[in-house]
Structure 1
Amino acid sequence: MMYKAFVIGLHFSTLFVLSVPSEFCVYKLKNGKLVPSKGCTEPDHGTIISELKARIQAKAAKTKARDETVTEPIADEVTFHDAFTGSTATTSTNTVINDASKTLPPATTLMLNQTTDFKEVLETASPTTTSPPLSQDIHILIGRRSSLSVISILSTSGVSYEQYGINVTDLIAIDYDPVEKYIYWTGKGYIRRAKTNFTVGELLASNLSTEVDGVAVDWVARNMYWSDKGLKLIGVSRLDGSSKKNFITTNIEAPRAIVLYPAIGKMYWSDWGSKPKIEATSLDGTDRHILVNGSLMWPNGLAIDYARNFLYWVDAGLDRIEAIQLDGSGRTVLIAHDHHIFGFTYFQNFIYWTDWQTGSLDRMLVYNSTIRQNIASGAGDFMGVKVYGNHAIPQTNQCYGNNNGCSHLCFYTSNGAVCDCPQSWGLKSDKKTCISP
């Protein structure tokens, strides 16, 4: 049988092909020939050659544009677009714009798109307003290569654009602790944190590789997880950087984004390796399993919708944003375009992302892709993004409060809380206390 093939991705010497009527296949380039993976047929070279050339050219152009963006001097000004009033404001370092005359318009009714089961599921738990609830201020934390910025959408006084004059070095990923109101970020070889007003800052780790691409805060158990692509591991420590432990060290190749679900004791992460995948595990490292491992290329960012139990991710290689239920069902493409998304997060029915190709920050309503807004533009070095409100996310577990009596690390799982120790330390017979080697 002749299979018509469609090229959907290219990653170094690996060609990802979706063949009809066969399943997703991977073809390795060896000695100038495409060699199919087990169970896949020989590709119809005549059919795919033009698409392959186009894909290679497009990806090369994107990579070139990205590399040029990274090496160019960082822009001094960023234009923020008021997603609610349509106006704009330009800020530079040490500039604060707080226009109390800007008030949010009344909420308007959405025309919900109910063409897929996914959208129907989302609609059942979704408000019918274009704007997040006005009872809570919303803060958008944006990381750039050398600075951190906060945009505040205020429920009472309008929109405040705040560009803090804090210098950082080679920032990559960011997260936020809603309990103590600390911002955490990674760079080349380090993890740091600072208060949201940047009056208190500290170095948490400095002996890491130059590719610490992800960081996630467990605000309930007071732990911090990070991905280190250079060392091929995921690490964990207390939020102050103490009690460090190599958490995931086997069958991991190029870990990238990390997100946590403290209430159910789960962690999810993406891996850019030769076989791209998204994995899940309990917060103590048990019950590890693959959630997604087909039709992936560069899974750049992850986000969890706690209200609906959905995981969202962005693939910068296949140029799309997707969603899946946490049980592995209902995979759906939300949006597909030709940009290079890097930072990614979710908050109150919206997904937010930074785009290296357009130098912009955008957001979209998850259950209606026609509700899409540009928030900021003019910077080619946008990295991580995190959106948060004024109140902590209402989640708890047995590690909350007294650390479940654990002397060092407490991990919550579906079977209850588990105590653990820093690297090379041992756990005493009481299963609570750690002893040094």
Structure 2
Amino acid sequence: MFQALLVLNLAHNTVDRIDLTDASVTTVVGDAGPVPDGIAYDRAAGRIYWTTMGAPDVDPALPVDEHNVDFTPKNGSVESAALDGAERRQVLPAGALTTGKQLDADFVAGQLYWSDREGRRVSRSRLDGTGLTDLVVNPATGDKAEECVGVAIDPAGNALYWTQKGPAKGGRGRIFRANLVMPEGQTAATRTDIEVLWEHRPEPIDLWLDTANHYLYWTDRGAEPAGNTLNRAPIPARGESGGAPEILARGFAEAIGLAVDIEAGFAYVTDLGGSVRAVALDGSSDSVIAKFEGQPLTGIIGVQ
């Protein structure tokens, strides 16, 4: 079971730790880089990894909010530190990716996987940053429906899952699956094994795979009633579309990060309103366990 949660704080660009025994909050990394978004934890090595979106271009004539900033400059990165914040290092320097979003990992194989939103791709590298490889590359059409956000991997099942949330409040979000191993003779831009599992979602963001019980969990921004929710649905068989999701919780202030503790029976969700909510998987409870007033939160991961 999780003993603590690590959350990425956009107000201060920090990695913060929430102790689940007393809800106390401490800062682990004081300067995580500009706009940190996705986080993963290597329990065996005692290290954390996270992505940054990089510093955006801002129009000084407009109010500063997410709709008036431009993340197309290629200055995202992948960072790492020990669990206590020491031994900080860059896995991939600023400019190695465009806009780093959710991060997942196969620590047994020594691989990191992430979505690159404005880069319109899903990529991976080794833990030391070598072997940078694109797995999915969408065309540069200017359509936000091609931007990748969430990612989750199933190494045993040879499956890669990712989300493309589409334009804000657009109802064009989709969740995809492809083989984790690239089909022979194909490329990230031409591969033909991509399946659309769900479409016409509000804005699917982060993913979490429960392969033991065959569920996929995800957060969804966008317009209510289906948006700003925590969802789950059975993982569809190959060649099949996903069924109607079960909504486990509603009313988030732009739901983003997701970490599911199957043993404890809780999903933990962050939002841009600064809340961390614990949602019981059996529907018995839904509570705010931490509130960062005026501090938007993105990625979250559990620490055992």
TM-score by length of 2: 0.75
Cα 1:253/1:384, change in 2 over 3 Å: same
Is 1:341 the equivalent of 2:206?
Answer: no
C-alpha deviation, 1:364, in angstroms: 0.5
What is residue 149 of structure 1 aligned with on the other side? 16
Q: 128, 134, 138: which one pairs with 1:240? A: 128
| Equivalences for residues 228-267 of structure 1 within 5 A | 228-250=116-138, 253-267=146-160
Counterpart AA for 1:167: D
Contact 1:268 1:280 in 2 (8 A): yes
C-alpha RMSD of matched pairs (Å): 2.2
What is residue 168 of structure 1 aligned with on the other side? 32
Counterpart AA for 2:149: R
Is 1:382 the equivalent of 2:297?
Answer: yes
C-alpha deviation, 1:159, in angstroms: 6.7
Cα 1:339/1:151, change in 2 over 3 Å: closer
Task: Count how many residue pairs are aligned between Structure 1 and Structure 2.
Answer: 248
Is 1:297 the equivalent of 2:202?
Answer: yes
| Equivalences for residues 54-73 of structure 1 within 5 A | none
Counterpart AA for 2:267: I
C-alpha deviation, 1:383, in angstroms: 1.7
What is residue 214 of structure 1 aligned with on the other side? 102
Q: Distance in 1 between matches of 2:228 and 2:17?
A: 27
How big is each residue's C-alpha offset from its partner over 1:38-67, in whole Å with a ceiling of 9 and x where there is no partner?
xxxxxxxxxxxxxxxxxxxxxxxxxxxxxx
User: Which has the larger strand fraction?
Assistant: 2
Is 1:180 the equivalent of 2:45?
Answer: yes
Q: 321, 324, 328: which one pairs with 2:233? A: 324
Q: Identity of aligned pairs, percent? A: 23
C-alpha deviation, 1:230, in angstroms: 1.9
How big is each residue's C-alpha offset from its partner over 1:276-306, in whole Å with a ceiling of 9 and x where there is no partner?
2101122113443111113x12111111223
| Equivalences for residues 50-129 of structure 1 within 5 A | none
Contact 2:113 2:123 in 1 (8 A): yes
What is residue 199 of structure 1 aligned with on the other side? 86
What is residue 60 of structure 2 aligned with on the other side? none
Q: Distance in 1 between matches of 2:23 and 2:221?
A: 31
What is residue 355 of structure 1 aligned with on the other side? 271
How big is each residue's C-alpha offset from its partner over 1:126-149, in whole Å with a ceiling of 9 and x where there is no partner?
xxxxxxxxxx56221111121111
List runs of 5+ in structure 1 lacking aligned partners.
1-135, 390-437
SS at match of 2:40: strand
User: Which has the larger helix fraction?
Assistant: 1
Q: Distance in 1 between matches of 2:162 and 2:180?
A: 12
TM-score by length of 1: 0.53
Contact 1:142 1:148 in 2 (8 A): yes
What is residue 29 of structure 1 aligned with on the other side? none
Q: Distance in 1 between matches of 2:174 and 2:180?
A: 19
RCO higher in structure (CA 8 A, sep ≥6): 2
Pair member with larger Rg: 1
Contact 1:268 1:281 in 2 (8 A): yes
Contact 1:220 1:262 in 2 (8 A): no
Counterpart AA for 2:177: A
SS at match of 2:30: coil
Contact 1:310 1:326 in 2 (8 A): yes
What is residue 276 of structure 1 aligned with on the other side? 173
Counterpart AA for 2:176: E
Q: Distance in 1 between matches of 2:252 and 2:85?
A: 36
Q: Distance in 2 between matches of 1:165 and 1:192?
A: 11
List runs of 5+ in structure 2 lacking aligned partners.
55-75, 140-144, 184-192, 237-241
How big is each residue's C-alpha offset from its partner over 1:299-323, in whole Å with a ceiling of 9 and x where there is no partner?
1111122331100111110222211
Counterpart AA for 1:325: P
Counterpart AA for 1:260: I
Contact 1:137 1:152 in 2 (8 A): no
